[in-house]
Amino acid sequence: MSNDCLFCNIIAKEIPSTPIYEDEQVYAFLDIKPVNPGHTLVVPKKHSPDLPSTDPLVLPALILAVQNIAQAMRVGLGIEGMNITENDGPVAGQLIPHMHFHLMPRYAHDGFDLWHGKPYGSQEEAIAVAEKIRKGL
């Protein structure tokens, strides 16, 4: 745990939250500024600032919690769809430096817009980018 981390303080119950789920490795709670009602954050209890630094032994429990909560949201809220995201780093929109998933209920015409993609300039560019990624594996 990190004393200066908002989510660590929430997990430690030093800051109030509206819990959805908790086990030994995972805590899930409602986002205080939801895209739509039910927007839930799912976080590992063990502090890590981003996905690449998250303990690989925690990831199975984390993704299983995401799956179970997503199903519960579909049933309990009667939602039409859902965005499940993980913003990794400030440039990607991560506001709290503690790895977390957003489970955002979606409805037709709810006004939430994701992104506007742009195609690669050429197939060669796509191949070059793919090669750079593979080299990092």
Active site residues: 100
DSSP conformational letter for 12: T
Q: What is the rounded CA–CA span in Å between residue 7 and residue 73?
A: 22
User: 34: Cβ–Cβ under 8 A, 6 or more apart, which residues?
Assistant: 104
- By C-alpha distance, which of 109, 43, 42 is closest to 81? 109
List helix spans (H) across the chain: 6-11, 59-77, 123-136
The secondary structure of residue 52, as a DSSP letter, is T
